[in-house]
Chains A and B, each alone.
Chain A
Amino acid sequence: MFDEYTFEELKAILIMQSFGGLSLLCIYVLMGLGLYVVFGQMKVINMAHAEFLVIGSYTMCLASKFVIEVMPEFINYYLWVAIPLAFVVAFIVGWIIEWILISRLYHRPLDTLLATWGLSLIMQQCFRTFIGAREMSATLPEWLMGSWAPTDIIDIPINGLVILATTIILTVGLVFFTNKTRWGLRMRSTSQNRQMSQALGINTKVTDRFTFALACGISGIGGAFLTTVVSTSPTAGTTYIVDSFLVLVLGGLGSLFGLVISGGFLALLSSILEFFMSGSVAKVWLYLIIFVVLAKFTKGLFSSNIRS
Chain B
Amino acid sequence: MKLKLHSKMYSLLLMAMAGPTGHVIAEEFPTAKVNTTGLAVTDTTVTVGQLHSITGTMAISETGSVEAERLAIEQINAMGGVLGRQIKIVQEDGASDWPTFAEKSKKLITQDKVACVFGCWTSASRKAVLPIFEKENNMLYYPTFYEGLEDSKNVIYTGQEATQQIIYGLDWAYENLGARTFYLIGSDYIWPRTSMKIARAHIERYLKKKDPKCKVVGEEYYPLGHTNFGTLINKVKLKKPDLMFTAVVGGSNVAWYKQLKAAGVTSKKYDMLTISTTEDEVLGIGGVNCEGFYSSMKYFQSIDTAENKAFVKAFKARWGDDSVIGDVTQAAYLGPWLWKKTVEKAGSFDIDKIAAASGGIEFKDAPEGFVRIHDTNHHLWSKSKIGKFLKNGQFEIISTSSELIEPNPYPKGYQ
User: Do A and B assemble together?
Assistant: yes
**Residues from chain A with Cβ under 8 Å of B258 in the complex:** 137, 145, 228-231
One of A83-91, A149-157, A173-181, A207-215 contacting the partner:
A149-157
In the bound complex, how far is the Cα of B29 from the Cα of A17, in angstroms?
Answer: 70
| A135 pairs with B60, CB closer than 8 A | yes
| B63 pairs with A133, CB closer than 8 A | yes
| A229 pairs with B234, CB closer than 8 A | no
**A305 contacts B by Cβ under 8 Å:** no
One of A40-48, A194-202, A271-279, A288-296 contacting the partner:
A271-279
One of B284-292, B330-338, B381-389 contacting the partner:
B284-292
Q: Which of A5, A135, A159, A228 contacts B251 (CB 8 A)?
A: A135
In the bound complex, how far is the Cα of B254 from the Cα of A136, in angstroms?
Answer: 10
Closest Cβ of chain B to A80, distance in Å, is: 20
One of B85-93, B172-180, B222-230 contacting the partner:
B222-230
Instruction: Take A16-B234, A17-B234 as given contacts and tell me if A157 and B227 are in contact as well, using a CB distance cutoff of 8 Å.
Output: no
Per-position 1/0 for A121-147, Cβ under 8 A of B? 000000010000111110100100111
One of B115-123, B159-167, B261-269 contacting the partner:
B261-269
| B238 pairs with A13, CB closer than 8 A | yes
**Residues from chain A with Cβ under 8 Å of B204 in the complex:** none
Query: Which residues of chain B from 228 to 245 have any CB-CB distance to chain A below 8 Å in the complex?
Result: 228, 230-235, 237-238
One of A20-28, A93-101, A185-193, A216-224 contacting the partner:
A20-28
**B307 contacts A by Cβ under 8 Å:** no
**Residues from chain A with Cβ under 8 Å of B232 in the complex:** 274, 279
| A274 pairs with B251, CB closer than 8 A | no
| B259 pairs with A229, CB closer than 8 A | yes
In the bound complex, how far is the Cα of B265 from the Cα of A147, in angstroms?
Answer: 9
Q: Which residue of A lies closest to B220 (CB)?
A: A278
| B261 pairs with A136, CB closer than 8 A | no
Instruction: Take A231-B284, A235-B57, A278-B221 as given contacts and tell me if A155 and B264 are in contact as well, using a CB distance cutoff of 8 Å.
Output: yes
**Residues from chain B with Cβ under 8 Å of A236 in the complex:** 251
| A147 pairs with B264, CB closer than 8 A | yes
Q: Which of A20, A128, A230, A280 contacts B255 (CB 8 A)?
A: A230
Instruction: Take A229-B258, A279-B221 as given contacts and tell me if A13 and B234 are in contact as well, using a CB distance cutoff of 8 Å.
Output: yes
| A270 pairs with B231, CB closer than 8 A | yes
| B234 pairs with A239, CB closer than 8 A | no
**Residues from chain B with Cβ under 8 Å of A136 in the complex:** 284
**Residues from chain B with Cβ under 8 Å of A159 in the complex:** 262
**Residues from chain B with Cβ under 8 Å of A280 in the complex:** 188, 221-223
In the bound complex, how far is the Cα of B324 from the Cα of A134, in angstroms?
Answer: 12
**B112 contacts A by Cβ under 8 Å:** no
Instruction: Take A155-B263, A157-B263, A229-B259 as given contacts and tell me if A24 and B283 are in contact as well, using a CB distance cutoff of 8 Å.
Output: no
**Residues from chain A with Cβ under 8 Å of B254 in the complex:** 135, 137, 230-231
In the bound complex, how far is the Cα of B222 from the Cα of A146, in angstroms?
Answer: 24
Closest Cβ of chain A to B136, distance in Å, is: 31
Q: Which of B60, B219, B238, B285 contacts A278 (CB 8 A)?
A: B219
| A157 pairs with B60, CB closer than 8 A | no
Closest Cβ of chain A to B393, distance in Å, is: 11
* Consensus secondary structure, chain B interface: helix
**B59 contacts A by Cβ under 8 Å:** yes
Task: Tell me how many residues of A have a C-beta within 8 Å of chain B.
Answer: 44
**Residues from chain B with Cβ under 8 Å of A13 in the complex:** 234, 237-238
| A229 pairs with B221, CB closer than 8 A | no
Q: Which of A9, A20, A160, A229 contacts B238 (CB 8 A)?
A: A9
In the bound complex, how far is the Cα of B221 from the Cα of A137, in angstroms?
Answer: 24
Closest Cβ of chain A to B195, distance in Å, is: 16
In the bound complex, how far is the Cα of B223 from the Cα of A21, in angstroms?
Answer: 19
Per-position 1/0 for B6-45, Cβ under 8 A of A? 0000000000000000000000000000000000000000
| B231 pairs with A20, CB closer than 8 A | yes
In the bound complex, how far is the Cα of B259 from the Cα of A165, in angstroms?
Answer: 18
| B230 pairs with A271, CB closer than 8 A | yes
| A27 pairs with B262, CB closer than 8 A | no
**Residues from chain A with Cβ under 8 Å of B286 in the complex:** 137, 139
Closest Cβ of chain B to A25, distance in Å, is: 11
Q: Which residue of A lies closest to B222 (CB)?
A: A279
Residue with the greatest number of chain A CB neighbours at <10 A, chosen from B221, B226, B263, B289: B263
Instruction: Take A228-B258, A230-B258, A233-B251 as given contacts and tell me if A283 and B231 are in contact as well, using a CB distance cutoff of 8 Å.
Output: no
**A164 contacts B by Cβ under 8 Å:** no
**Residues from chain A with Cβ under 8 Å of B230 in the complex:** 17, 20-21, 23-24, 271
**A158 contacts B by Cβ under 8 Å:** yes
Q: Which of B59, B225, B238 contacts A239 (CB 8 A)?
A: B225
**Residues from chain A with Cβ under 8 Å of B57 in the complex:** 233, 235
**Residues from chain A with Cβ under 8 Å of B188 in the complex:** 279-280
Q: Which residue of A lies closest to B229 (CB)?
A: A279
| B262 pairs with A271, CB closer than 8 A | no
Closest Cβ of chain A to B186, distance in Å, is: 10
Q: Which of B63, B255, B288 contacts A231 (CB 8 A)?
A: B255
Q: Which residue of A lies closest to B62 (CB)?
A: A133
**Residues from chain A with Cβ under 8 Å of B262 in the complex:** 145-147, 157-160, 228-229
Query: Which residues of chain A from 1 to 24 have any CB-CB distance to chain B below 8 Å in the complex?
Result: 5, 9, 13, 16-17, 20-21, 23-24
Instruction: Take A133-B60, A136-B284 as given contacts and tell me if A279 and B219 are in contact as well, using a CB distance cutoff of 8 Å.
Output: no
Q: Which residue of A lies closest to B226 (CB)?
A: A279
Residue with the greatest number of chain A CB neighbours at <10 A, chosen from B63, B188, B258, B285: B258
Closest Cβ of chain B to A164, distance in Å, is: 13
**Residues from chain B with Cβ under 8 Å of A229 in the complex:** 227-228, 255, 258-259, 262
**Residues from chain A with Cβ under 8 Å of B219 in the complex:** 278
Q: Which residue of A lies closest to B63 (CB)?
A: A133
In the bound complex, how far is the Cα of B289 from the Cα of A155, in angstroms?
Answer: 16
| A133 pairs with B59, CB closer than 8 A | yes
| A231 pairs with B231, CB closer than 8 A | no
A residues near B (Cβ < 8 Å) are 5, 9, 13, 16-17, 20-21, 23-24, 27, 128, 133-137, 139, 142, 145-147, 149, 153, 155, 157-160, 228-231, 233, 235-236, 239, 270-271, 274-275, 278-280, 283
Q: Which 9 A-B pairs have the closest CB atoms?
A: A135-B284, A155-B264, A20-B230, A231-B254, A279-B222, A157-B262, A147-B264, A274-B231, A230-B255
A–B Cβ pairs within 8 angstroms, 13 of them: A9-B238, A16-B237, A128-B59, A137-B254, A145-B288, A155-B264, A229-B259, A231-B258, A233-B60, A239-B225, A279-B221, A279-B222, A280-B222
List 8 additional A-B contacts (Cβ < 8 Å) besides A13-B237, A270-B228.
Answer: A23-B230, A135-B251, A157-B264, A228-B262, A229-B227, A275-B231, A275-B234, A275-B235
